[in-house]
A and B are shown apart, each in its own frame.
Chain A
Amino acid sequence: MPELMQISANELKFLVKRSAEGLGFSPGDQLSAGIKAAVAFQLGLANSHLLVKGLDALNSAIRAPLLLASNDQELMFDAQGQSALVQVELALGLALAKAVPRLHIKHLVAAAFAVPCLMNWLAQPLNQASAQQCYALYFTHHSGAQRCVLIAADGQLLGLYQPLQTIVEMDELLLCMGQADIEGVLITDGADLLGWRERCLDQGVYLEATLISRLKHMMQASLVPETEASRAGAGPG
């Protein structure tokens, strides 16, 4: 069994943010990565294995997902193998702005990290609120199984489901707007997901110790050797 370490959500956010910074991502992506990682852990949608996958896929040479196709019914993006820790909001945002019923993002690694982003947007009053019943996000869970998170139009989590059929490929995200029900088995309802989150707020989240070491190593790239001039007068800090 790998050694687990308890850390706070804020510490996880900080470590992931600074790791993204070390890889050369923009300030918006850095912060977004940190928040998505922390919230996904708190909701039980991510574990160390998924975060490792998400970190492995981070590629700052990719600027944004590519829009492959667009019509009234569907948007299709290619994330080009990028991690959902970053940039996924660019595609999700366009889907909300255009109010298309379906959004497909192909080649998106660790797609579960997209969930906090959508929840956050729906929880605020949007300028052009889509009169949709519910939002269903399909992705592959860290267990390897298909999962769907159902989110109410106000951002409330309604539940985590296992779809009855294969809906998405391994590295793919599907957002269906206006979906009232899921053809699948309810695994955890919204109250339990939030209960998990409450427990994590109280007790922190658990990461493999080797992953924490890796994050600390990654963030080193965002540090700069200080010069004598910059040290001068900087005091005891």
Chain B
Amino acid sequence: MSQIILRPASQAMDLERLGAGFSSRLSFMRTLVRHMVQDQWAISYSQFELDDLGYGHAVFDIKMPHSQLSLVVFSQYLAPEERNDRVIAEKWDLTMTLVEGEMDDAWLERLSKNVPLQEAGRIDSRSLCLSRGNRSARIFDSLLEQLRSGVQPDPKKLAEVGYLYRTTAVYGSGKFGACDWDKIARHHPDLARPFSAEMLVCYLLRQFSLDQLHHMVHQPDYPNAVDLDMDLQRYLGIGNSTGLGMAPYLINHPLLMSQWIGQREQAYAEVLAEPVEQAQLTRLKLVLEQAMQHVREVSTFDAWQSKNNVQLLIDAQELSDWLSSEDQKVNDWRQLHEWAQQHYSLETQELLVSLLLELYPDIVNPKEDQLAINESLTYDPTQSAQNLADSIQESYDWVFDYDFTEADENQTFWYYSQEKMEPRLGKTDIDDGAEVQMFLGIAKAVQACHNDLLTMMQQSHDVSVAEFLLQKPIHLGIVNRIATMAQTQYGEIRANLLHKDVLPMHLLRCKLAFFGVSKFDPKSALWVRNTMFQGAPVVGDLKHEFNDDWYFPVAPIIGGKHQPNA
């Protein structure tokens, strides 16, 4: 084993690189499914009260090693004109909540009056998450027709959408009366990893979508009805649209970000230090082929993403050819890593990171338990101002790359909209509201703090941080951040989010890659469609042998002859 060398933060935390990431072994969906299988979770319906049109309610009973949960799903009629994925919607096809323990009639009654209302209702601290989903009417109805007639669908048509339902929001972390994260971490250790509860809701929504479909298929009027082919069931995921609402999260949770990136980078560095063996090399070729097929099947009209996909396929094909050629000699993984850095696009480089992590589960998987952290940004008032200035010079040197006297560097501001309380971008020279903008201009704030520190220290060197802040209280927030984050390696995304050309898409993709989604399909620079849990085992698979190989899902071959978009 050679030396373990971490990628520097200047590289790993570059915004464009973060926006080129892919899901990996450490992604939250992968981790959740792995534990559901390894820890032998028992998931079944305790209630499934749907009418022949699929309306009613169902309750999943979820037995985990350390606790028991229920997911309550309410299904109601939604007129096509009422089906709206925007946050302002007031009605959905499905609404659900994940709760502690078993369901009783009184509780179910109370939930039935609140959960369908979502934000307008109220849940209590026995709930972990609140969520909703809308049906993809196009695919659901045609699939229903075909299966009722005993016909399997064309996988190509299925692959164009890839899901029966889309989530439009999954609320956790104490929203609308639900419990805090601390409670989940203490009482439900099986979910004590970031976003595990939220991912579980999405996973079971996917299962419900299949079960509801089959319930509607197998009605007495359809004697020839058949189940959807199992491979096609696994190929269906849950649709998701992610917009600006997710973007500020990574800036507002730098310690968590540091943990996520840090664990991945540590795993990658350890993998690069491993000796190359033939078995791993063979496996790399296989997973590379699968990833390439996955990318070929991505359907997007976005020119930027299409271009990236094309370049990735060119790079990956070259890499694949070289790995298969007789004269290739991969001496160590670092050599491959450096070659990719010098010759391939960012997306190909980051794809290689994810693929190499696939080869070493023993190195990578244990790091999934280090992804959560107690978040507290705090400074030490007794520290000297000189120490704080030194921390800025050492850990925040990148902020001096920006000249904030230039108008372009200050032209964007982020705010919460009055209409929907969702993040929006404004232009300082056009829009009102910059005075209440979100605190996302980290580089600018650090520079300002540093300038004031230097000015104060010119007058007196023997100054504490407490004295500095008493003179310049405006810097309280950024001092908390600098003092905390200077002790970490990763965490601060190296970009100026106030720049006129800032691309929030990179932030969205970074977070979604950690979630584990696939099929990135940007619809603008501000929002992206994607698919969750596509290719994952269904609930019935959880008790069987498990290969943990559902990354980069590709359309199944039905009858040995069809492969969509290939």
Interface window among B55-63, B178-186, B267-275, B346-354: B178-186
| Nearest neighbor of A124 in chain B, beta-carbon distance | B378
Residue of A nearest to B435 (CB): A24
A–B pairs, 5, beta carbons within 8 Å:
A94-B464, A227-B430, A230-B424, A233-B523, A236-B243
Q: Does A22 contact B (CB under 8 A)?
A: yes
A191 is an interface residue with CB less than 8 A from chain B = no
Stretch from B196-204, B217-225, B412-420 at the A interface:
B412-420
For B381, the chain A residues whose CB sits under 8 A away are: 89, 92-94, 96-97, 121, 126
| Complex alpha-carbon distance, A5 and B124, angstroms | 10
Residue on A nearest B421 in the bound complex, by CB? A223
With A126-B382, A224-B415 as known contacts, state yes or no: A67 contacts B470, CB within 8 Å: yes
Q: Chain B residues with Cβ under 8 A from A32's Cβ?
A: 476
A236 adjacent to B86 (CB under 8 Å): yes
Q: Check B473–A226 contact: CB distance below 8 A.
A: no
Interface residue tally on A, bucketed by range = 35 or more
Centre residue among B124, B178, B180, B378 by max chain A CB count within 10 A: B180
- For A6, list chain B residues within 8 Å (CB): 124-125, 177
Give the shortest distance, in Å, between A173 (CB) and chain B (any CB).
16
Q: Tell me whether A8 and B177 are in contact (CB under 8 A).
A: yes
Q: Contact between A221 and B436 (Cβ–Cβ < 8 Å)? A: yes
Sorted nearest first, the 6 A-B pairs with minimum C-beta distance are A28-B476, A235-B527, A8-B174, A237-B243, A93-B381, A28-B477
Neighbouring A residues of B122 by C-beta, 8 Å: 5
Contacts A8-B174, A222-B436; A202 near B475 (Cβ below 8 A) = no
Among residues of A, the one whose C-beta sits closest to the C-beta of B387 is A127
Per-residue 0/1 for A202-237: is the Cβ within 8 Å of any B Cβ (1 yes, 0 no)? Answer: 111000000000000000111111110111111111
Residue numbers in B under 8 Å from A120 (CB-CB): 376, 378
- Beyond A5-B122, A94-B381, 5 extra complex contacts between A and B, CB < 8 Å: A64-B470, A91-B470, A126-B382, A235-B244, A237-B527
**Considering only CB atoms, which chain A residue lies closest to B434 in the complex?**
A224
- Distance from A154 Cβ to chain B, minimum over Cβ atoms (Å): 15
Cβ–Cβ contact B177 & A235, under 8 A: no
Cβ contacts under 8 Å, B175 to chain A: 8, 10-11
CB of B177 within 8 A of CB of A234, answer no
Task: Say yes or no for A21: interface residue by CB 8 A criterion.
Answer: yes
| Contact, CB under 8 Å: B183 / A235 | no
Main secondary structure of the interface of B (DSSP, over half): mixed
Are A202 and B378 neighbours in the complex by a CB distance under 8 Å? no
B177 touches A237 (CB 8 A): no
Contacts of A27 in B (CB 8 A): 439, 445, 476-478
Of the candidates A22, A93, A129, A229, the one whose C-beta lies within 8 Å of that of B466 is A93
CA distance A231 to B415 in the complex (A): 12
Give the interface of B toward A (CB within 8 A): 85-87, 122, 124-125, 168, 173-183, 186-187, 241-245, 376-378, 380-384, 387, 415-427, 430-433, 435-436, 439, 445, 464-467, 469-470, 473-480, 523-527
Q: A201 and B182: CB pair below 8 A?
A: yes
The winner among B427, B439, B464, B476 for most chain A CB atoms within 10 A is: B476
In the complex, the answer to whether A89 meets B124 with C-beta atoms within 8 Å is no
Contacts of B430 in A (CB 8 A): 227, 229
- Chain A 90-105 against B: per-residue CB contact (8 Å), 1 yes, 0 no? 1111101110000000
Contact A202–B417 (Cβ < 8 Å): no
Residues of A within 8 A of B524 (CB): 232-235
Contacts of A7 in B (CB 8 A): 174, 177
Pairwise interchain contact A222-B416, C-beta atoms closer than 8 A: yes
Indicate the member of B241, B242, B474 with the most A CB atoms within 10 Å.
B474
CB distance from B10 to the nearest CB of A (A): 25
B473 engages A121 (CB within 8 Å): no
> A27-B439, A89-B476, A120-B376 known; A223 and B243 CB under 8 Å?
no
Cβ of A26 under 8 Å from chain B: yes
Chain A stretch 1-53: residues in CB contact (< 8 A) with chain B: 5-11, 21-22, 24, 26-32
A128–B526 Cα distance when bound, in Å, is 46
A residues with CB within 8 A of B? 5-11, 21-22, 24, 26-32, 63-64, 67, 87, 89-94, 96-98, 120-121, 124, 126-129, 201-204, 220-227, 229-237
B247 to chain A, nearest CB (A): 10
Question: How far, in angstroms, from A220 to B178 measured CA to CA in the complex?
Answer: 22
Give the nearest-CB partner of A66 in chain B.
Answer: B470
- Contact of B124 with A97 in the complex, beta carbons under 8 Å: no
Task: Give the distance in Å from the alpha carbon of A160 to the alpha carbon of B383 in the complex.
Answer: 30
A230 to B467, CA, bound (A): 41
Closest A-chain residue to B525, C-beta based?
Answer: A233
What is the minimal beta-carbon distance from B532 to any residue of chain A, in angstroms?
15
Q: With A10-B173, A223-B417, A230-B424 as given contacts, are A26 and B382 in contact (CB-CB < 8 Å)?
A: no
> Do A90 and B243 contact each other (CB < 8 Å), given the known contacts A8-B177, A120-B376?
no
Distance in Å: Cβ of A70 to nearest Cβ of chain B = 11
* Chain A: minimal CB distance from B52 (Å): 31
Contact B383 A127 (CB under 8 A): yes
Is the CB–CB distance between B187 and A202 below 8 Å? yes
The distance from the CB of A191 to the nearest CB of chain B, in whole angstroms, is 17
Please give, as numbers and ranges, the residues of chain A lying within 8 Å of B387 by CB-CB distance. 127
Contact A225:B417 (CB < 8 A) given known A124-B378, A234-B526:
yes
Q: In the complex, which residues of chain A have a beta carbon less than 8 angstroms from the beta carbon of B445? A: 27
- Distance, CA A124 to CA B480, complexed state (A): 13
Contacts of B419 in A (CB 8 A): 225-226
Q: Which residues of B contact A5 (CB under 8 A)?
A: 122, 177
Q: Which of B382, B422, B473 contacts A63 (CB 8 A)?
A: B473
Interface contact A237-B416, CB-CB below 8 Å: no
* Closest Cβ–Cβ distance, residue A118 to chain B (whole Å): 11
> Do the beta carbons of A202 and B424 come within 8 Å of each other?
no
Minimum CB–CB distance from A40 to chain B (whole Å) comes to 16
The smallest C-beta distance from A71 to any residue of chain B, in angstroms, reads 16
Please name all residues of chain B whose beta carbon is closer than 8 Å to the beta carbon of A226 when the two chains form the complex.
417-420, 424
Residues on B with C-beta less than 8 A from A231 are: 424
- Most chain B CB within 10 A, of A21, A120, A129, is at A21
Complex CA distance for A127 and B390, rounded to whole angstroms:
15
**Using Cβ atoms and an 8 Å threshold, which residues of chain B touch A223?**
415-418, 421, 436
Asked whether, in the complex, the Cβ of B180 is within 8 Å of the Cβ of A230, the reply is: no
> Are the C-beta atoms of A204 and B480 separated by less than 8 Å?
no
Are the CB atoms of A9 and B466 closer together than 8 Å?
no
